[in-house]
Amino acid sequence: MNILIIEDEERIATLIKRGLEEFDYKVTVAYDGLSGKKLASQNDYDLIIADIILPKLNGIDFCKEIRSAKPDISIILLTALGTTDDKVEGFDAGADDYMVKPFDFRELHVRIRNLLKRKLNKTASHGFILKYSDLELNSQAKTVKRADIEINLTKKEFRLLEYMMQNSERILTRSEISENVWDIRFDTGTNFIDVYINYLRKKIDKGFETKLIHTKSGMGFVFKKE
């Protein structure tokens, strides 16, 4: 597996590189956003680890540009900023995961392993369509329509909706959503899942008489007609 690290702090980049090489990953390091973008554009990497605060091109803009060019690549953002708004911005830019410094390398390795495993196990589902009520999701074309009206979702909003539709009419806890949509298996101490549920509810339910996304107090969320 080929991994690109984009980190301007040489000590941190070296520690991550050495740790990953012990697990037989092939690792390349760039120390600024533009160099990272050039490498990512010219080479095929299985996963990219990028700091947000980078010289020449910050991690958020890097993520947006690479995600546009290579939509299937896995990206983990690193940052010293850990508020809910910061995390939402990172996910909206196209990141698959987000880690706040300082972090334990073992946790980073688990995140990497889970992302790469999900990528390897992902099977092509040509034209696969999920339907519930008047809502339709095409997992191949990455499109969503309700009552034939196209709805634009971010990558994480799409994955959240897909998971909820796959588990419709069943209460989903925050920890279950966190684990299956974000690959996070612990309490982050923020309410970013509730934030994304609200984003999704505004796009999916606003303007429609029948609501599909519901909050169950003290339990979680459920996707069903009510």
**CATH number, domain containing residue 139:** 1.10.10.10
One-letter amino acid of 122: K
Report how far residue 179's alpha carbon sits from residue 188's, in angstroms, rounded to the nearest whole number: 11
| Residue 126 pLDDT > 50 | no
Average pLDDT over residues 176-193: 77
Task: Please say which residue of 82, 101, 121 terminates a domain.
Answer: 121
- What is the number of structural domains in the chain? 2
Residues 34 and 117 in one domain: yes
* Residues 29, 7 contacting (CB under 8 angstroms): yes
Per-residue model confidence (pLDDT) at position 92: 83
* Residues 87, 156 contacting (CB under 8 angstroms): no
**CATH number, domain containing residue 89:** 3.40.50.2300
Average pLDDT over residues 62-77: 87
Residues 19 and 104 in one domain: yes
pLDDT tens figures, 44-61: 888 999 999 899 999 899
Q: What is the DSSP string of 101-139?
A: SS--HHHHHHHHHHHHHHHHHPPP-TT-EEEETTEEEET
pLDDT tens figures, 192-210: 889 999 999 999 999 999 9
* Residues 66, 74 contacting (CB under 8 angstroms): no
Both tokens of 28, joined, read 């390349």
Rounded to two decimals, what is the model's pTM? 0.61
Residue 157: half-sphere exposure toward Cβ, Cα within 13 Å: 21
Residues 150 and 117 in one domain: no
Confidence of residue 159 (pLDDT cuts 50, 70, 90): very high
Both tokens of 19, joined, read 């740790």
Per-residue model confidence (pLDDT) at position 24: 84
Candidates 193, 47, 173; CA nearest to 120 is 47
Report how far residue 42's alpha carbon sits from residue 37's, in angstroms, rounded to the nearest whole number: 9
Query: Containing domain of residue 172, as a range?
Result: 129-223
Task: Please say which residue of 71, 102, 121 terminates a domain.
Answer: 121
What percentage of the chain carries pLDDT values higher than 90? 46
Residues 12 and 97 in one domain: yes
